[in-house]
Structure 1
Amino acid sequence: MRTVEWIYLIFNVVMLVWLIGGRNKPQKGVWGGLVISGVLLLIHGWVEGMRWPMIPAYLLTLVPLIGIMADARRQQRSVTTVGKHAAASSSSTSAVQKTGRVRIIATSMLVLVYAAVTVGLPLLFPVFSFEKLTGPYGIGTVSYDWTDNSREELLTSTAGDKRELMVQIWYPTDPDAKGTTAPYVNDPAVYAAAFNEVLQLPKLLFSSLDQVKAHAIQEASLSDAEAQYPVILFSHGLHGYENQNTFQVEQLVSQGYIVVGINHTYSSLVSVFPDGRVAQFESEGKEGFEQLQFSYMDKLNETWVKDAQFVLDEVKKLAAGDPNGRFTGHMDLDNIGMFGHSFGGATTVQMLMDDPRVKAGMNMDGVLFGEKRIPAEGVGKPFLMMSADTTVAGTSVMSDEEIAAMGTTRPEAEKYYEEVYARYEPVTVGGNFWMELSNTKHLSFSDLYLISPILEWSQGVDARGAQQLINDTTIDFFNHYLKGQSLRMDSEVGEHASYSLKKG
């Protein structure tokens, strides 16, 4: 929850309890509460922006005013009724006292319920934030709309369309760089609709997406603290998007890396182009288990590999002569890494085996789809596989209902996983690593669980804890293989409380 929002919320709840439960409330105190609440509301609206989960809290700003009016009315009523009940019987007095106690209990319960709703809604539907940067650099970001004129777009109905990609680059800046803070996603309403349509998640969960801010400053100057910075490509998962791992990208950049995020058009959650065009996810008529078949996924992955290779070509052009002068001469193209989540992780493995420019890579919970199999002698380059324990467990943690919902049977699913495990077999060969994270899910390797604790609780995961481990491991891996620093992972092979680590 945001700072002013939290202060405003707590102040109003305390005021509510005091006004309802307190006795002999001075008029100055009530008026003061009204003024303070109003000022906090104005600051919150101006600085942070108002949003629907705060509506119960906004209504509390009126409570002091209602209290003032109620007190005035009571005083007027007491004057006009003085002496009328002086001779009231003892039985009548007892009945009045009993009614008063019931009213107090009912009012107290109502206040507690309202306070719980007032605090609960903003907590369940937060404007989430990313962890404080751990490195010495601030972050700048710039986006590009790049078209590969050598390739036809296969997923549009218009003949002659070329493959067009949105690419976002994050880069180190001076820590005190000033400018406009980048939004988490461009056109949040489009993304909220896509989360609902593609991932079947309620739009309500994404109602505050437009107020989420990253640390990055739009089009800030590149830091000149180092002559060149290693470049790392990021490839999202199927149904993902280029900044779905902002929690990870920002920490890498703060440590002195340039990170290039690719939005794989028509395979991403959604693509939003600068001229307002929107490219929705295209399933090609395949759903559930049919969409996961190796024959389909291996073929689709060829497009993603070509996307990554094209983006590297464009990055090389920027390094040689950026029209804006930002990246010219500042990209270390001798030290290029790549990482990806899910299908983007599979793409990373294919790039390691297919493109000599990529020096080291990480696959986060991705089945090894793609044209090439890892040979028996291993990838041949530094490689780290990261997996969720529930993913590696396969059908053993899947109910019959879950398997049926995918459109298959348990025997078919088990046969499918035999191929999955066979492709994993040579992952660690040649001194490479495989980390399995405990109590995690497939989407623990993304920002998704930050959007609402409802998602986190329903999956039984610790989002922030998993992200901390992922970030520590990511930085350690790339610092060693792209910057020549010592490798901590070598001393951590084995079983641990939150993960296990294997080395070939």
Structure 2
Amino acid sequence: MRLIEIIYAILALGLLWWSFFSKKQNWKIIILLLSAMLFLITLQYKVEGFRWQMIPLYVVPIFLIFFLRVNVSKKWLKITMSISIFLFTVIAVSLPFIFPVFAFKEPTGKYAVGTTSYTFVDHDRLETYEKDPYSKRKLAIQIWYPVNKDEKGKFAPYISDIQPIAKGLKKALHLPSFLFQQLSLVKTHSMLNVHVSPEKSNYPVLIFSHGLTGFRNQNTFEVEELASHGYIIVGIDHTYDAAATIFTDGSSAEIRFKNLSGFDELDSHITLWEKDVSFVLNELEKLNKNDRKNLFINRMDLNQIGMFGHSYGGATAVQMLMKDDRIKAAVNMDGTLYGEKIEETGVEKPLMIFNGEKSIDYNEYKKTLNQADSQLDKPLSYYENNWKETTERRENALANGGISIEIPHTSHMSFTDFPLFSPFFANKGEDPRYVHEVINAFTLHFFDFHLKNKPFHLNQLKKAYSDIKVSE
């Protein structure tokens, strides 16, 4: 809960209990406290913003006004009211904690962070998701970048337009869209449209690709940290495969994700994402020469580009590492390696793969299959072969000096912001803040080594995070 919410909750619930069970009611104090509550509601709405999780607490003054004169002298009524108010208190306090307006940790680098967005249209590609046969592929990107610590600016919201994103997450996660409304109140550490730090002439570039049904902001915990250490990060929304894409003109494209299944379909579809990344790389070259915002002219070191991604975006990062000479190193966060098959000799360029403990645990996979047994539309052997193929592809990718990292208590969504959305999205025993710290530490050292020629103190990281399984 946020500060004003906490103050209001203490006042509202305290008055609720006291007014019902105090032997003597002081109306002057009650009216004074009710007035204070109404003031706090107004202040909280203006300063912190309304959210549905606070509704039970918002209605306390109304409840008190109408029911303050209820006589609870009878024992049975007193017991009933006590139980009711206790249950109400539990629900009223729990909701804001279960679906919090969370805060991202302050980035640890020497720079503050700036952010801005662009919309690019690829006039050489048709948009296959749209019915219009002449529609061109349009992409939205968001850039995070280093700025001076003394820079002043307006901080960007986590999500600028929550409605399309909430609808997309509803389709992706099969949860009511209202559960995500509070994300519009989450603040970031990124300032809008401020100037890139002049401390260095240019900065290496990292491309970020979300997972299927994800969105470009889904790893804000990571992109802000990397930007604070001197990287320009470009997050791509893969239009219609993202939960929603918000373009710079305010329009949006909601998810139309095709129900892809099996390696053949997913191997084929990833070419769309590869073309997206290639196109964005081309546009960055133009932006580096002529930026209408006058932010990035000659500020991007396009000779030092890395890529990282989650899930399908992680698989895309590996494909781009193999196929595009501009990508010098890549990090895959728990992504099955769809796309062109990797030879047993491995990938020729630096690669690091994060694995969720549950994602590579065969017993966990079997348990999931057994739980979904009645809903499986294919023979069990099909899923067994999928597991074998997934394992083989991962082993091939790591064969030529790749680094594999397994983080305890993690599953697929642990490598995103999602566990911060609600404790329900975290695994038993998982500390999302710690997991994010580990991801940031290893990712930063990996890219620092390969793009900035800094030492890669892998053994020091192993000691610092002794519970993490690292294989080279």
User: What is the TM-score when the length of structure 2 is the normalising length?
Assistant: 0.91
- Is the Cα–Cα contact under 8 Å of residues 140 and 248 in structure 2 kept in the other structure? no
1:156 equivalent to 2:130? Answer yes
1:361 equivalent to 2:330? Answer yes
Q: 1:52: which partner in 2?
A: 52
Report the number of matched residues.
470
Matches of 2:452 and 2:52 in 1, distance apart? 46
- Equivalent of 1:328 in 289, 293, 297: 297
Amino acid aligned to 2:359: T
Amino acid aligned to 1:306: K
Amino acid aligned to 2:347: V
Q: 2:262: which partner in 1?
A: 293
- Is the Cα–Cα contact under 8 Å of residues 34 and 62 in structure 1 kept in the other structure? no
Output one character per residue of 1:12-69: Cα deviation in whole Å (capped at 9) or x when no partner. 22232333344445555434423332322221011011222212211223567568x7
Aligned to 1:362, the other structure's residue is in SS state: strand
- Deviation of 1:259 (Å): 0.5
- Equivalent of 1:252 in 197, 210, 226: 226
- Is the Cα–Cα contact under 8 Å of residues 339 and 361 in structure 1 kept in the other structure? yes
Aligned to 1:14, the other structure's residue is in SS state: helix
1:222 equivalent to 2:192? Answer no
- Deviation of 1:475 (Å): 1.8
Matches of 2:374 and 2:384 in 1, distance apart? 13
The answer to which of 150-159 and 250-259 deviates more is 150-159
- Is the Cα–Cα contact under 8 Å of residues 171 and 258 in structure 1 kept in the other structure? yes
Q: 1:86: which partner in 2?
A: none
1:477 equivalent to 2:451? Answer no
1:466 equivalent to 2:435? Answer yes
Matches of 1:490 and 1:376 in 2, distance apart? 27
Q: 1:385: which partner in 2?
A: 353
Aligned to 1:177, the other structure's residue is in SS state: coil
Output one character per residue of 1:340-363: Cα deviation in whole Å (capped at 9) or x when no partner. 001111111111111111111100
- Is the Cα–Cα contact under 8 Å of residues 205 and 451 in structure 1 kept in the other structure? no
Change in 2 beyond 3 A, CA 1:398/1:114: closer
Instruction: Pick the structure with greater CA Rg.
Output: 1
Q: Which portions of structure 1, spanning 4 or more consecutive aligned residues, are displaced by more than 6 angstroms?
A: 494-497
Amino acid aligned to 2:261: L
Q: 1:399: which partner in 2?
A: 369
Aligned to 2:179, the other structure's residue is in SS state: helix
Output one character per residue of 1:127-171: Cα deviation in whole Å (capped at 9) or x when no partner. 222222222322221111101122222332222322211111111
Change in 2 beyond 3 A, CA 1:149/1:40: same
Q: How does 1:55-74 map to 2 (within 5 A)?
A: 55-62=55-62, 70=69
Q: Structure 1: any 5+ residue segments left out of the alignment?
A: 75-95
Q: 2:471: which partner in 1?
A: 502
Aligned to 1:335, the other structure's residue is in SS state: strand
1:487 equivalent to 2:456? Answer yes
Amino acid aligned to 1:417: W
- % same residue: 36
Change in 2 beyond 3 A, CA 1:465/1:298: same
- Deviation of 1:198 (Å): 3.1
- Is the Cα–Cα contact under 8 Å of residues 56 and 118 in structure 1 kept in the other structure? yes
Output one character per residue of 1:392-413: Cα deviation in whole Å (capped at 9) or x when no partner. 1243342324255352222111
Q: 1:425: which partner in 2?
A: 395
Matches of 1:278 and 1:250 in 2, distance apart? 24
Change in 2 beyond 3 A, CA 1:491/1:270: same
- Deviation of 1:489 (Å): 2.1
1:143 equivalent to 2:123? Answer no
- Is the Cα–Cα contact under 8 Å of residues 114 and 144 in structure 2 kept in the other structure? yes
Q: 1:122: which partner in 2?
A: 96
Matches of 1:129 and 1:404 in 2, distance apart? 40
Output one character per residue of 1:216-265: Cα deviation in whole Å (capped at 9) or x when no partner. 22212222233222110001111111111111111111222111001111
- Deviation of 1:172 (Å): 1.6
Matches of 2:215 and 2:17 in 1, distance apart? 45
Matches of 2:174 and 2:429 in 1, distance apart? 19
Q: 1:445: which partner in 2?
A: 415
Output one character per residue of 1:454-483: Cα deviation in whole Å (capped at 9) or x when no partner. 3336x7743333222212222222222222
1:317 equivalent to 2:291? Answer no
Q: 1:201: which partner in 2?
A: 175
Change in 2 beyond 3 A, CA 1:330/1:475: same
